[in-house]
Structure 1
């Protein structure tokens, strides 16, 4: 049986022991205190009287604990000194929590866009300075031994189904190096992901609890909540229809259509409450490409394209209009699409977004979908966010 064919039950059975190796055990499973979706607060240490004797005390509870499927619960007596993550979602979470100096390795740096940090005074991150776990299309165990991280903020089921790891591989690294703790939340089309998807906020809170950084988590979440409230309070009654695409090539001649759902990659569109142009189109949700003839049939008001084509290569608005919108305006079919005629074809950022990246992309989504209301207005305070990240605010 190959790694990709193994069932979730088999994997979780193998992970049951690995999750608590070297930890102050909490003995929890995926049905623990976080099963309802609430992030687990860090309990305090202490002693309690034992009814059998006045001299015995209970074992102190761990100070840094959180629960999230598929691993279940992890707990530490002290925050992990080092950690590793795969791509943009959990790396961005770590930077938001002020943990960049503890990052031991990045799985796939090309899937972690750091350009937005340039707008945050005093916040910088040079990912080229960090070891890389991936080797081409492989994620070898040797990389994990070399990084020697105390915690791997990576979904182990994703490792099995993406890189052909076995349960034994996961248990080996969890035992000999450090446990896994992560849930692959970028998208929701994978058949192997049969366990619950937490929200970005929940995943963020769980990582914060393990590192004792709930205060920073709560402050960043307050900014995100205020941004969402600001946008929703000003949305016009009539919603804009948006077609979300991943272009293939520059200029693009085909596209992967992107249905909007509850996944983290579409978080900004959930906030701005647009209408999905793909709804009821009959186009499959996964694994197909569409051409300009199909786009013309859909005839959306607005087209938004994800534009992270390679490692940190994101087309800015000027380049995008030259290489993409300009090409479409000259195309014999695309030029008659409403969005192209009105110049409402936009670069849309990336789909690996953590809590800080989501701030920028949510703001941009509001500007793109409702330019008459939001224009180029900054909708959240950059200095405030930077102060939280650096500890100066």
Structure 2
């Protein structure tokens, strides 16, 4: 965690949003961060690679290895150019590091491309990829990938859902490609401790660094993290006093009027875009959380808590049916009594399966949704799910992010 002195230094020295807009990209390049490089405390990490030093190319030997828990170390003869994944955060990592074209199969129905639409000369079309599913062995053979970006322990931890086991994983690794991934750092799921020994949890940017090593693009990862750190510094410096901040509930409404709560202060990277915001989380002391499967809240219980802001997880783009259903609270006799409903503070939040690009955009999104007076209001989505923020209200430089992705580091 960041100590108080470092936090106060950050607040005194970081520029306001107006300063940032005025000076544009030069602010990003100048390095705003005071104190630890991790910004909010949960993302501080050394940029030194845990992979072998052989990740630096030489004329004599271009092979290299990258290590990740729980998979171990994977050796590469060259950078993978045919990749299969089941998680959109790995797609986002590949796009961020300039290897979007390497993704051949992915869960196309869930990838939100509205962030990419805001980045000049950055394109990714999920409709041109094959649609992957977790236990489709035939698809894996058809794609014939160089790498499968997936945590293979997924199948042992959730074995009741899949006709795919450790023997199948071994078969694929022997005949097709290695697995590489870490899934459960997202929420620190308690099933992991029961199923996998010595499972290591990573912050979002530690995980991004692992995948950046696979694509041999750690400089891009580090440059994007500097953009993220500068954004966090900017946000932290302009937060209102704690007693003036609204209370926030982050939920998923899987059934009408039944809310599954997410704790914003949990250690998983799935909520890492909220933690820098110093949020007053209404579920902070709750023993009912989505991660622990320990219970839900009905409308009456939610009314007792009565958060000022209600955010639906996975609501990006406004298309999620659960988020759309939550908007109907205004027509419900009990739901309409919620302060968040009466004050028009219902939002579709970012996706917890986030890579570097998602993470940066979603920090800006959350800041605007929770603190519109400080950072400008988050806009209404367009019909196609995109959104437009005026340039003078943007909290980071889109061109700078695009330049990094395209190799101008």
Give the alignment's TM-score, normalised by structure 1: 0.77
Question: How many angstroms apart in 2 are the aligned matches of 1:258 and 1:180?
Answer: 29
Report the alpha carbon displacement of residue 299 of structure 1 after superposing the two structures with TM: 1.2
Mark the CA change 1:299 to 1:308 in structure 2 (over 3 Å): closer, same or farther: closer
Counterpart position of 1:277: 282
Say yes or no: does 1:72 pair with 2:76: no
CA contact (8 A) 1:87 1:112 kept: no
Q: Secondary structure at the match of 1:219?
A: helix
- Matched ranges for 1:179-190 at <5 A: 179-184=178-183, 185-190=185-190
Counterpart position of 2:297: 290
Question: How many angstroms apart in 1 are the aligned matches of 2:139 and 2:228?
Answer: 35
CA contact (8 A) 2:186 2:353 kept: yes
Q: Secondary structure at the match of 2:340?
A: helix
Question: How many angstroms apart in 2 are the aligned matches of 1:248 and 1:170?
Answer: 31
Q: Secondary structure at the match of 2:347?
A: strand
Q: Secondary structure at the match of 2:260?
A: strand
Q: Secondary structure at the match of 2:104?
A: strand
Counterpart position of 1:266: 271
- Matched ranges for 1:73-152 at <5 A: 73-106=73-106, 108-134=107-133, 139-152=135-148
* RMSD across aligned positions (CA): 2.8
CA contact (8 A) 2:108 2:129 kept: no
Report the alpha carbon displacement of residue 227 of structure 1 after superposing the two structures with TM: 1.0
Counterpart position of 2:223: 219
Counterpart position of 2:252: 246
Q: Secondary structure at the match of 2:131?
A: coil
Counterpart position of 1:177: 176
Counterpart position of 1:161: 157
Question: How many angstroms apart in 1 are the aligned matches of 2:406 and 2:58?
Answer: 31
Report the alpha carbon displacement of residue 335 of structure 1 after superposing the two structures with TM: 2.5
Unmatched 5+ residue regions in structure 1? Answer: 1-34, 48-59
Question: How many angstroms apart in 2 are the aligned matches of 1:365 and 1:347?
Answer: 10
Report the alpha carbon displacement of residue 46 of structure 1 after superposing the two structures with TM: 6.5
Counterpart position of 2:206: 202
Question: How many angstroms apart in 2 are the aligned matches of 1:339 and 1:268?
Answer: 21
Report the alpha carbon displacement of residue 247 of structure 1 after superposing the two structures with TM: 2.1
Question: How many angstroms apart in 1 are the aligned matches of 2:213 and 2:406?
Answer: 18
Mark the CA change 1:36 to 1:155 in structure 2 (over 3 Å): closer, same or farther: farther
CA contact (8 A) 1:83 1:104 kept: yes
Number of residues of Structure 1 aligned to a counterpart in Structure 2:
335
Mark the CA change 1:226 to 1:217 in structure 2 (over 3 Å): closer, same or farther: same
Question: How many angstroms apart in 1 are the aligned matches of 2:46 and 2:116?
Answer: 33
Counterpart position of 1:9: none
Indicate the structure (1 or 2) with the bigger Cα radius of gyration: 1
Q: Encode CA deviations 1:27-77: one digit per residue, 9 max, x unaligned.
A: xxxxxxxx9995325434669xxxxxxxxxxxx776533211011112223
Report the alpha carbon displacement of residue 165 of structure 1 after superposing the two structures with TM: 2.4
CA contact (8 A) 1:104 1:148 kept: no
Mark the CA change 1:197 to 1:62 in structure 2 (over 3 Å): closer, same or farther: farther
Counterpart position of 1:333: 334
Counterpart position of 1:26: none
Question: How many angstroms apart in 2 are the aligned matches of 1:45 and 1:324?
Answer: 52
Report the alpha carbon displacement of residue 206 of structure 1 after superposing the two structures with TM: 1.1
Report the alpha carbon displacement of residue 280 of structure 1 after superposing the two structures with TM: 2.4
Pick which of 35-44 and 236-245 moved more: 35-44
Question: How many angstroms apart in 2 are the aligned matches of 1:69 and 1:164?
Answer: 24
